Structure 1
Amino acid sequence: MILAATTRLAETLLRWRTLFGGAGKLRKRMLLDGQPGRADIWVHAASVGELNSAAMLIETLAARHTLLVTTNSETGLERARAAGWNAALAPLDLPDTLARFLNAVSPRVAVTVEAELWPLRAKLLAARRVPHLIVGARMSERSARRWSRLPGLIGPVLRNVTALSAQNGDSETRLLALGLPRSALLPRLDLKLLAPARVTAPPASEMRDRTILAASTHPGEDEPILDAFLALQARRPDLRLILAPRHPDRADQLATAIRARGIAFAQRSGGANDGPLLLADTLGEMPLWYGRAGICLTGGSLVDHGGHTPWEPAAHGCAILHGPHVSNHAEPYAALEQAGGARVTDATSLPAVLSELLAAPDQARRMGQIARGVLDEQAGDPAPLLDLITGLAQKAPDTDI
């Protein structure tokens, strides 16, 4: 009752605000300037990041059903429309606004991406018997503490969830503790990993065995990498290095460092495609370089930049090396290290670690296979979820909306 009274008061005040101009986005989110059309499935994602994570799911569902994608932000709306999806700004969590939205769209199933929990939205979906699924759900420890102080709000939201796939085990545990019925749990699904998990890893080859990729390097990393390559090349003339800086505008600086060491090299921006040392100073071609290398050193980790994602090299079956600075992706690197798909190194130990892997190509190949296996396991299989949503979308609505 408190929720209903509060939201009705808020809606009244916001309506008054729209009368005085300068509230175009607000009017759209209150459906005062038009309404979306009907759709079998309503997918909601907060903004660009969530849309990107769920892109594969949305594309698959859009090919099967009429679909409406909503987002809280204008940039998210632009991203959705640029992808060719039917999209609108999401309705605010207000009673009359939500009623207008649900009357207009008449969804057969609602899908929420990652971490959006709205009490009134959940209540009205349940009242209209619209199945509500949450995919790739995240619940941080901090958010769980906040929600635990509001059991009267979070409890009904979670109890009315038809099905939920958590992003990881910790999120799953916290959601259960907050009131999610265990019967609603689906297998875990990390939406951000679905795209790399769809990559077909190239086959192992002798060329990949002797090719090292230094991916997305930062200042302070290139010199020890070049020194290690120079030392190893003296014993392995067939060794190849692809040096791909994070920012290609550093190409001239890197070319100077390479020439200072007397290393012959080719430059991708000049049209080269191969060479004992290829300076990959272009944008948008990283998948090509991952596919050529059997060993990948992920940049931003030898120096304190927090490290870059290990999942792209894992997708391509690379043996992964990284420095000690991986705070941006600590859990993935820990999982890969524990399984044997990644190894930590630093500027001092790098030549020895590379020498070991180059001398034992079967070991490097095995690391790459393990890394890909960890990726597939953590990504999860979206097929059962897609089939569930499709089945619900094909059912006739339980009630007239």
Structure 2
Amino acid sequence: MLIYRILSTILFIISLPVYAAVRKIEGKSFGWKEKFGDFDAPDLGDKVIMFHGVSVGEVIALENLIKKTKETFPNYKIVVTTGTKTGQEIAHKKYDNIADFITYFPFDITFCVEKFLNKIKPSVVLIAETELWPTFAAYCHNKNIPLFVINGRISDATFKSYRFLKGFFKELFKNYTEILTQSEEDKNKFIQIGAPESKTQVMKNLKFDVKRISADIEIGKGSNRIIIAGSTHKGEDEIVLTTFTKLKKDFPDIKLLIAPRHLTRLNEVKSLTEKTGLKFGQRSNNDTFENNEIIILDTMGELSKMYQICDFAFIGGSFNKTGGHNPLEAIVYDKPAISGPSIHNFRDIYWILGRSKAGKVVKTPQELTNYMAKLLSDKEFYAQACEDCKTVFASQQGAMEFVIDRLKNIL
């Protein structure tokens, strides 16, 4: 590890001018001062719990855990770090009223890490998924700061390359208090690349700690089957509306609830809906499916609870470059979820869902139409998909309490 720290520092200093120039040209020279440890931190005291999520998906996954931690340990300050600009934006959006300080994770270079830890003084550090930083880990170990990997996972591609560096990782993992993984498969991967078996446990997946929202929803469902298109982005409404119009010819009992991600696009969505020739209404006007084929959900904060009335859902942000939205908001109600090909914010979730019929990733609008038709026409297939939603949730819940129990043991 000492050799790594010396060589990485030398290489970092040598390559810094070129790296800085490239990042500036690419428009990605964000958070540099903070990553060098050059920031003004508030007086956090000596009771600090630090969470790190590198980007959007990891930051979102930590949400319920951070809230529960704040509730369970009210005397501790909460610090949240990220590695990307988008992660930082999401962290501020979600945690400004919860966290005591939000900043960037330091470059894994001796002087950057030392400055960072001297300012934050964490009592414990929890790092989400597969962020393994040797210098940071060594400094935590030397300062007797408990360091955890939580929600740990290793992709097949990463595992193939990491296993050739088992000697390196074996030394690295000596600096960690525990490696807490999403699955037995991930646990075995960590052990095979050098993690001590005694320190590596399965905690399940934080992203599955989603709760149902009980609510009476008056929307005139009747005996109709409802498809929800949730959090749609520009370009996706046309896909959904075209698909629905085609399906309506063969399945006259279906209705569509379409929920644009951004209500600033409401007029655009209304215009597109008008072109279908189908009668539609708006949730804000208390319109129902009793006399409409399509309802536009144009109210704030209702989408999550609406999933309970649907038969299945299309999750938006997945036919563009957004990276998808959380399919578990539908799955928690035992409703199968479908997404387009852009799912990088929830790739691990779809990997789990895709092993059953609970979730489906389609590559094209035509494939979306075909899969929806399958759910509508094949009763046995649909029933199994709903049952798989229950099974997946039952197998994955409990991760948040697992981590809270670990924190209780050391704080």
Please indicate, yes or no, whether the TM-score normalized by the shorter chain is above 0.5.
yes
Q: In the alignment, does 2:12 pair up with 1:28?
A: no
Q: In the alignment, does 2:192 pair up with 1:177?
A: yes
Q: Report the Cα distance in structure 2 between the residues aligned to 1:105 and 1:14, rounded to whole angstroms.
A: 28
Deviates more, 1:151-160 or 1:48-57: 151-160
Q: In the alignment, does 2:146 pair up with 1:131?
A: yes
Residue by residue, what CA displacement relative to the aligned partner does 1:246-286 show, whole Å, maximum 9, x if unpaired? 67634323322234xxxx44334655244352332537543
Question: 2:376 — aligned with what?
Answer: 354
Deviates more, 1:169-178 or 1:270-279: 270-279
Q: 1:349 to 1:71 in 2, by over 3 A?
A: closer
Question: 2:3 — aligned with what?
Answer: 2
Structure with more relative contact order (C-alpha pairs < 8 Å, separation 6 or more): 1
Q: Report the Cα distance in structure 2 between the residues aligned to 1:142 and 1:55, rounded to whole angstroms.
A: 27
Q: Contact between 1:202 and 1:316, CA under 8 Å: does it hold in 2?
A: no
Question: 1:377 — aligned with what?
Answer: 395
Question: 1:236 — aligned with what?
Answer: none
Deviation (angstroms), 1:111:
0.7
Q: 1:96 to 1:282 in 2, by over 3 A?
A: same
* 1:150 counterpart SS class: helix
Q: Report the Cα distance in structure 2 between the residues aligned to 1:91 and 1:107, rounded to whole angstroms.
A: 14
Q: 1:30 to 1:227 in 2, by over 3 A?
A: closer
Residue by residue, what CA displacement relative to the aligned partner does 1:170-202 show, whole Å, maximum 9, x if unpaired? 4333211111112222324323333xx222467
* 1:219 counterpart SS class: helix
Q: Report the Cα distance in structure 1 between the residues aligned to 2:312 and 2:283, rounded to whole angstroms.
A: 18
Q: In the alignment, does 2:205 pair up with 1:187?
A: no
> Which of 326, 348, 355 is residue 335 of structure 1 equivalent to?
355
Residue by residue, what CA displacement relative to the aligned partner does 1:96-155 show, whole Å, maximum 9, x if unpaired? 332333333332211111121101111121222222111111212222233334344322
How many residues in Structure 1 have an aligned counterpart in Structure 2?
369
Q: Report the Cα distance in structure 1 between the residues aligned to 2:79 and 2:399, rounded to whole angstroms.
A: 24
Amino acid at match of 2:400: P
Question: 1:399 — aligned with what?
Answer: none
Amino acid at match of 2:77: T
Question: 1:252 — aligned with what?
Answer: 271
Q: Contact between 2:182 and 2:202, CA under 8 Å: does it hold in 1?
A: no
Q: Structure 2 stretches of 5 or more lacking a match?
A: 19-23, 231-235
Question: 1:46 — aligned with what?
Answer: 54
Q: Report the Cα distance in structure 2 between the residues aligned to 1:286 and 1:380, rounded to whole angstroms.
A: 25
* 1:266 counterpart SS class: strand
> Which of 219, 223, 238 is residue 238 of structure 2 equivalent to?
219
Residue by residue, what CA displacement relative to the aligned partner does 1:284-316 show, whole Å, maximum 9, x if unpaired? 5432431222x1143679x99999764222112
The TM-score normalised by the length of structure 1 is 0.74
Question: 1:398 — aligned with what?
Answer: none
Q: Report the Cα distance in structure 2 between the residues aligned to 1:119 and 1:191, rounded to whole angstroms.
A: 24
Amino acid at match of 1:155: K
> Which of 56, 62, 70 is residue 62 of structure 1 equivalent to?
70
Question: 1:242 — aligned with what?
Answer: 256
Question: 2:409 — aligned with what?
Answer: 391
* 2:298 counterpart SS class: coil
Amino acid at match of 2:108: D
Q: Structure 1 stretches of 5 or more lacking a match?
A: 234-238, 395-401
Question: 1:119 — aligned with what?
Answer: 134
Q: Contact between 1:61 and 1:390, CA under 8 Å: does it hold in 2?
A: no
Q: Report the Cα distance in structure 2 between the residues aligned to 1:269 and 1:204, rounded to whole angstroms.
A: 13
Question: 2:332 — aligned with what?
Answer: 315
> Which of 274, 294, 306 is residue 278 of structure 1 equivalent to?
294
Q: 1:35 to 1:356 in 2, by over 3 A?
A: closer
* 1:186 counterpart SS class: strand
* 1:164 counterpart SS class: strand
Q: 1:186 to 1:272 in 2, by over 3 A?
A: same
Pairs within 5 Å for 1:89-100: 89-100=104-115
Q: 1:10 to 1:62 in 2, by over 3 A?
A: farther
* 1:213 counterpart SS class: strand
Q: Contact between 2:237 and 2:272, CA under 8 Å: does it hold in 1?
A: no
Q: 1:287 to 1:147 in 2, by over 3 A?
A: same
The TM-score normalised by the length of structure 2 is 0.72
Pairs within 5 Å for 1:227-238: 227-233=246-252
Question: 1:76 — aligned with what?
Answer: 87
> Which of 143, 150, 158 is residue 173 of structure 2 equivalent to?
158
* 1:91 counterpart SS class: coil
Q: Report the Cα distance in structure 2 between the residues aligned to 1:210 and 1:61, rounded to whole angstroms.
A: 42
Q: 1:257 to 1:161 in 2, by over 3 A?
A: same
Q: Report the Cα distance in structure 2 between the residues aligned to 1:138 and 1:171, rounded to whole angstroms.
A: 5
Deviation (angstroms), 1:333:
4.2
Q: In the alignment, does 2:193 pair up with 1:199?
A: no
* 2:306 counterpart SS class: helix
Q: Contact between 1:119 and 1:153, CA under 8 Å: does it hold in 2?
A: no
Q: Contact between 1:215 and 1:296, CA under 8 Å: does it hold in 2?
A: no
* 1:313 counterpart SS class: helix
Larger Rg: 1
Q: Percent identity?
A: 18
Q: Contact between 1:342 and 1:367, CA under 8 Å: does it hold in 2?
A: no
Deviates more, 1:203-212 or 1:38-47: 203-212
Q: Report the Cα distance in structure 1 between the residues aligned to 2:316 and 2:308, rounded to whole angstroms.
A: 20
Q: Contact between 2:313 and 2:330, CA under 8 Å: does it hold in 1?
A: no
